[in-house]
Amino acid sequence: MTERELNELLLTKFPEIKKDFDTYTEWQDGLDTGSFLVVEDVLMEYIRKVLGKKDYKKIAYICETIEEIYSKNDEYATNVIVVGILENLKCSEYADIIVDYLLPLTRKEYDEIEV
């Protein structure tokens, strides 16, 4: 999966981040901006807001989506999910919330992350 493909997938799954994505990437490479950057600086901000509001329906959707992307067995996408999202969440104040919503593949990966 290319950066463009992963960014397009993220925007399809999370249309709420489109405005922030456009603002963030307008001075970079647009859809070709590195997905690690997009995840860390745009998507994680959205995820933290959802977790902070304890919007459990959206938390479940986020976890379903990261499980779906992780299960594609694409090396680049998997690395973005693990490093950009799971490691970030494991070290966050929301670790105790997210852990209950992760699905089997991402939960296993999450449990193996050492903090």
pTM, two decimal places: 0.94
Domain tally, the chain: 1
**C-alpha distances out from residue 113 to 40, 83, 90, 98, 108, Å:** 17, 10, 8, 14, 9
pLDDT at 90 over 90: yes
Determine the Cα angle at 94 with ends 88 and 100, to 5°: 100
What would the mean pLDDT of 36-61 be, rounded to a whole number?
A: 97
pLDDT at 4: 96
What would the mean pLDDT of 15-44 be, rounded to a whole number?
A: 96
| Helix ranges restricted to H, 1-115 | 3-13, 18-25, 35-38, 44-53, 56-70, 75-79, 87-90, 95-98, 104-112
Q: How confident is residue 42, by pLDDT bands cut at 50, 70 and 90?
A: very high
User: Which amino acid makes up residue 37?
Assistant: L
What residue numbers bound the domain in which 68 lies?
Answer: 3-112
pLDDT at 72: 95
Contacts of 88 (CB under 8 A, 6+ apart): 40, 44
User: Which amino acid makes up residue 10?
Assistant: L
CA 3, 8, 14, 18 dihedral sign is positive
What would the mean pLDDT of 23-35 be, rounded to a whole number?
A: 94
Q: How confident is residue 115, by pLDDT bands cut at 50, 70 and 90?
A: confident
What would the mean pLDDT of 99-115 be, rounded to a whole number?
A: 96
pLDDT at 103: 98
* Mean pLDDT of the residues in the chain: 96
